[in-house]
Copies of this chain bind each other. A is one copy, B any other.
Amino acid sequence: MIDERKQHILQAVIQDYIASAEPVGSRTLARKYDLGVSPATIRNEMADLEMLGYLEHIHTSSGRIPSSKGYRLYVDSLLPVQPMTDQEKAVIDKWYKTKVQRIDQVFQETAKLISKMTKNVSLVLAPQISKAAFRCMQFLPLDDHRVIAVLMTDAGFVENRIMEMPDGSTFEDFQRMAKVANGHLAGHTLEKIHTKSLKQIEAVIGDSGLYNSALDLISNALTSDRKERLYLGGTTELMAQPEFHDVNKVKEILLMLEEDQLMKDIIRSHLGDGLTVSIGQENEYSGIKDCSIITATYHLDGELLGSLAVLGPTRMEYGRTMSLLNYMNQNLNEVVKRLNW
**Partner-B contacts on A (CB < 8 A):** 99-103, 135-136, 138, 140, 142, 148, 150, 152, 156, 158, 160-162, 164, 221, 235-236, 239-240, 244-248, 250-251, 254-255, 258
Contacts and interface: CB of A to CB of B under 8 A. Distances in A.
Contacts of A236: 251, 254-255, 258
B158 A150 contact: yes
B239 A247 contact: yes
A160 B135 CA distance: 15
Contacts of A251: 236, 239-240
Given A152-B148, A239-B251, A99 B140 contact: no
A213 B307 CA distance: 39
A247 B241 CA distance: 10
Given A150-B150, A156-B148, A99 B245 contact: no
Contacts of A250: 239, 247, 250
Top 8 A-B pairs, shortest CB-CB distance:
A158-B160, A239-B251, A142-B156, A140-B152, A236-B254, A101-B161, A239-B247, A245-B247
Contacts of A240: 251
A247 B100 CA distance: 34
A162 B161 CA distance: 20
A298 B138 CA distance: 32
Contacts of A158: 140, 148, 150, 158, 160
Contacts of A99: 162, 164
A162 B101 contact: yes
A102 B146 CA distance: 12
A142 B99 CA distance: 14
Nearest to A160: B158
A151 to B, nearest CB: 10
A148 to B, nearest CB: 6
Nearest to A136: B140
Contacts of A221: 101
Contacts of A164: 99
A244 B239 CA distance: 13
A70 to B, nearest CB: 27
A245 B103 CA distance: 38
Given A148-B158, A236-B255, 14 more contacts: A99-B164, A100-B162, A102-B160, A135-B140, A136-B140, A140-B152, A140-B156, A148-B156, A150-B150, A150-B152, A156-B162, A236-B258, A240-B251, A250-B250
14 contacts: A99-B164, A100-B162, A102-B161, A103-B162, A135-B140, A148-B156, A148-B158, A150-B158, A158-B158, A235-B254, A236-B254, A239-B247, A239-B250, A247-B247
Contacts of A100: 162
Contacts of A140: 135-136, 152, 156, 158
A235 B255 CA distance: 10
Nearest to A156: B142
A314 B164 CA distance: 44
A162 B104 CA distance: 11
A161 to B, nearest CB: 5
A248 to B, nearest CB: 8
A190 to B, nearest CB: 16
A87 to B, nearest CB: 25
